[in-house]
Amino acid sequence: MKTRVLTRRSFALAAAGLLSGAERWKGGPPAPFLKEIETLRAEHNVPGISAAWLENGRVTWMAGFGSTDAEGKSRVDEKTIFAAASLSKPVFALAVLRFRDQGGLDLDKPLQDYLPFSEDERTRRITARHVLSHTTGLPNWRFKPGVLRANFEPGSRFGYSGEGYFLLQRVVETLSGEPTEMFLRRRVFSPLQLRDSSFIGPSVPGYDSKGPPSRILPPAYLERVQAVIEEMKIDYTTITTEQSLAVAAKVAPAALPVYVSPNSAGSLTTTATDFAVIMKTLAQTKAMHEPLIQANGADWWGLGAGIERTDSGSYLWHWGNSPGTKCYFALQPESATGIVVFTNGDNGAALYRHIATAALGRSPNAFGWIR
Task: Quote the pLDDT of residue 24.
Answer: 52
Task: Quote the pLDDT of residue 174.
Answer: 97
Domains of the chain in start order, with CATH, are 8-85+268-368 (3.40.710.10)
pLDDT tens column, 308-319: 999 889 999 999
Q: Which residues contact 166 (CB under 8 A, 6 or more apart)?
A: 241, 257, 260, 263, 264, 265
Model pTM score: 0.92
pLDDT band at residue 2 using 50, 70 and 90 as cut-offs: very low
- Compute the distance between CA of residue 227 and CA of residue 14 in angstroms, rounded to an integer: 49
Task: Quote the pLDDT of residue 29.
Answer: 85
pLDDT tens column, 183-202: 999 999 999 999 999 999 88
Task: Quote the pLDDT of residue 210.
Answer: 80
Burial class (CB in 10 A: 0-12, 13-18, 19+), 199: buried
Cα 228–Cα 172–Cα 182 angle in degrees, nearest 5: 60
Q: Tell me how long the chain is.
A: 371
How many helical (H) and strand (E) elements, i.e. helices and strands, does the chain have?
Answer: 11, 12
Average pLDDT, the chain: 90
Task: Quote the pLDDT of residue 220.
Answer: 81
Nearest Cα to Cα of residue 159 among 296, 16, 15: 296
pLDDT tens column, 82-107: 999 999 999 999 999 999 999 999 99
Share of the chain above pLDDT 70, in %: 93
Task: Quote the pLDDT of residue 17.
Answer: 34
Burial class (CB in 10 A: 0-12, 13-18, 19+), 144: exposed
- Compute the distance between CA of residue 229 and CA of residue 235 in angstroms, rounded to an integer: 8
Q: Tell me: pLDDT of 118 over 80.
A: yes
- Compute the distance between CA of residue 205 and CA of residue 106 in angstroms, rounded to an integer: 37
Mean local confidence (pLDDT), 18-33: 61
Q: Tell me: pLDDT of 7 over 80.
A: no
Q: Tell me: pLDDT of 3 over 80.
A: no
CB of 288 closer than 8 Å to CB of 316: yes
Q: Which residues contact 205 (CB under 8 A, 6 or more apart)?
A: 69, 213, 214, 215, 324, 344
- Least confident range from 207-211, 212-216, 241-245: namely 212-216
pLDDT tens column, 297-354: 999 999 999 999 998 899 999 999 999 999 999 999 999 999 999 999 999 999 999 9
Nearest Cα to Cα of residue 262 among 179, 355, 145: 179
CB of 171 closer than 8 Å to CB of 128: yes
Does the CA dihedral 313-280-204-265 come out positive or negative? positive
